[in-house]
Amino acid sequence: MHTLIDKIELIDNVMTYTEVAQTDDDVLIEEINLNYDSTLGQWIETNITGLEEGTILLEEFFNVTPLAYVARTTISYGHSDLPLVTSMGEL
């Protein structure tokens, strides 16, 4: 089993997910997802009302933090075109 790692960034004011790598390292998966939860995930949760009302924009997060990663899609086969990584430094 492999888990896909997506890079999340704002492109033309659209939050865009791009598959950048894959891993089978459970420690790395947990590190990526804890980082997501404590940054972008928490920011969205805190600002959901403002985002829905249009008084807060996603670019406010991405102006400070240009990208985030998430690792939540598990596949039963690898993507040969995506590198297999074992550390954050490889992203």
Tens digits of residue pLDDT in 1-12: 899 999 999 999
Q: What integer is the mean pLDDT of 24-40? A: 97
Cut 0.85: pTM above it: yes
Q: For 7, phi and psi rounded to 5 degrees?
A: -95, 130
Q: Quick check: is 14 in a domain?
A: yes
Residue 70, domain extent? 2-76
Q: Quick check: is 42 in a domain?
A: yes
Q: Quick check: is 84 in a domain?
A: no
Number of domains into which the chain is organized: 1
Q: Quick check: is 85 in a domain?
A: no
Banded model confidence at residue 19, pLDDT cuts 50, 70, 90: very high
| Chain mean pLDDT for the chain | 94
| Residue 24 zone, left/alpha/beta (φ > 0; ψ -120 to 50; rest) | alpha
The percentage of residues in the chain with a pLDDT greater than 90, rounded to a whole number, is: 88
Q: Quick check: is 59 in a domain?
A: yes
Q: What is the DSSP letter of 54?
A: T
Q: Quick check: is 90 in a domain?
A: no
pLDDT higher than 80, residue 77: no
**Cα–Cα distance measured from residue 86 to residue 55, given in angstroms and rounded to the nearest whole number:** 39
Q: What integer is the mean pLDDT of 23-32? A: 96
| Residue 23 zone, left/alpha/beta (φ > 0; ψ -120 to 50; rest) | beta
